[in-house]
Structure 1
Amino acid sequence: MSPDRALLYFGTVVHRRLAPVRHGFRYGVFYLRLRVDQMQRRWPRLISHNGWNLFSFHDADHGPRDGSALLPWIRNLLTQHGLACADGAIWLQAFPRVLGYVFNPVSFWLCHDRAGALRAVVAEVRNTFGECHNYLVAHPDGRAIMPGDWLTARKVFHVSPFFPVSGHYRFRFIDTGAHCNFRIDYTAADGAQLLTAVSGTAQTLRSPALALAFL
């Protein structure tokens, strides 16, 4: 796979709620990973950019959510948070629309420096009311995010009826390009409450893989 080609991941989402009542489930998913700073001009036949198709990716679903260009928005966000060091490739990992419909509980903006090191991640979190909040996580000193590093953000956005808007999220990103495993754990004053993982294996974004995803 070319390091600059759009990817389609087949994977799994795992939820483990530890309180107030233990509950867990897992389900299969597929999702896109697109290079925002070099958005491709030609797309496979079964997917469109900002147009209707079996699958589609719409700029209006992300970032400023007004249909404007995504790259200036994410670059400005990074600069506002003192992360101009993330001046390289930016990948957006998200679910595509299917027959015009999509719900992205969380999308990930993976922000690298020019040497290819991961410097920051924006977790774009949505709830079922259509509201959205961006959690930007990075090391305080701006150093590269390594596999196994844990990063923390204070919870400020209502997502689940089971949990209040308090506590912290802990993020971990393990990503080789071909495979990924992202963790988001929710922790409150009395300990871990919810463990979530998104994992997947990549294929180059092509129509045969999209057809398989639709079945």
Structure 2
Amino acid sequence: METATTPALYPTLVTHLHRWPARHYAEHRSYAWYVDLDDLPRLPRWIRPFARFEAADHFDGGPNDTLRQRVDAFLARKGVFIPGGRVTALLLPRVLGHAFNPLSLFWCHDAAGALQCVVAEVMGTGGDRRAFLLPPAEDEPAAVTEALRAAPFADNEGYFLLRVPRPGEMLDLSVSLHREQNAALVATWRGRRRPATVGRVLMLQLTNPLAPQMARLALRWQVAVLRWRGIPAEPALPPRQIERTSFDGAQGWGAKTHSWAAP
């Protein structure tokens, strides 16, 4: 499939559709950067406060680790190694000192350029993060049986399907909660690739100002509306938890079962 060159920008429309226990729809506009972790964008100093890529905003690790080192460490703990491979990521940068990434994606390739796995990191409005190791099957969703525990996916019942193909000219991602083969909740991220120029970055600060802060505010508002309607929206999270995974890369991807083999 065609994949985007890096860096690139994707102005996005984010939607949430609740189908059960009551119907509810919400949307907001945002944007995301598509970057190579070994070649992060080098913006002029005066505009950097609007697009900083900090390792501390993802995974765990030492204070001096790069974001690529944190991804490699996460993969190693799951039995996945990609020496000489490329990692591309779709994420929101830190803007004016604030970071909030409801969904960050990392596509991990081997030295030959073949996709080996995908890491999906979700973040709740309280700042808690969880990372999930997904298979390299871009043409179909990957199943996650562990609760994402991030608004608006608060329910523990059922399973999740993540469809996260690498972005090309278009970005088209979805995460859905299913019960008895029916989608109870669907979230989508859709957008069109734009060049990552200084002018485009400035324009986004006008059309989508303070994107991380506004994304957090949009989710909190949605949680409040859902609670008012009696719909579970955001769990009471335990103390900070990072890097939960439903799959173990050391066990291998099963093409027939479409999941990582159980330990």
TM-score normalised by the chain length of structure 1: 0.81
Quote how far apart the aligned CAs of 1:189 are.
4.7
* Aligned residue identity for 1:204: P
* Aligned residue identity for 1:192: A
Indicate the larger mover: 6-15 or 73-82. Answer: 73-82
Alpha-carbon separation, structure 2, partners of 1:83 and 1:22: 40
1:145 aligned onto 2:153? no
1:75 aligned onto 2:72? yes
Quote how far apart the aligned CAs of 1:163 are.
3.6
Indicate the larger mover: 58-67 or 91-100. Answer: 58-67
Alpha-carbon separation, structure 2, partners of 1:184 and 1:29: 17
CA offset digits 1:48-75 (Å, max 9, x no partner)? 3xxxx23322221112165422222212
Q: State the match for 2:43 in structure 1.
A: 43
Alignment of 1:199-214 (within 5 A): 199-214=190-205
What SS does structure 1 have at the residue aligned with 2:119? strand
Residues 112/199 of structure 1: CA separation in 2 closer, same or farther (3 Å cut): farther
1:154 aligned onto 2:151? no
Percent identity reads: 26
> Does the 8 Å CA contact 2:61/2:70 hold for their aligned counterparts?
no
* Aligned residue identity for 1:26: E
> Does the 8 Å CA contact 1:167/1:189 hold for their aligned counterparts?
yes
Give the RMSD, CA atoms, in angstroms: 2.6
Choose from 137, 156, 181 the match for 2:172.
181
TM-score normalised by the chain length of structure 2: 0.68
Quote how far apart the aligned CAs of 1:24 are.
1.1
* Aligned residue identity for 1:93: L
Residues 161/27 of structure 1: CA separation in 2 closer, same or farther (3 Å cut): closer
> Does the 8 Å CA contact 2:59/2:129 hold for their aligned counterparts?
no
1:121 aligned onto 2:118? yes
Gaps of 5+ in 1: 139-143
Choose from 42, 54, 57 the match for 1:58.
54
1:16 aligned onto 2:7? no
Larger radius of gyration: 2
Quote how far apart the aligned CAs of 1:137 are.
0.8
Alpha-carbon separation, structure 2, partners of 1:65 and 1:127: 19
Quote how far apart the aligned CAs of 1:178 are.
2.6
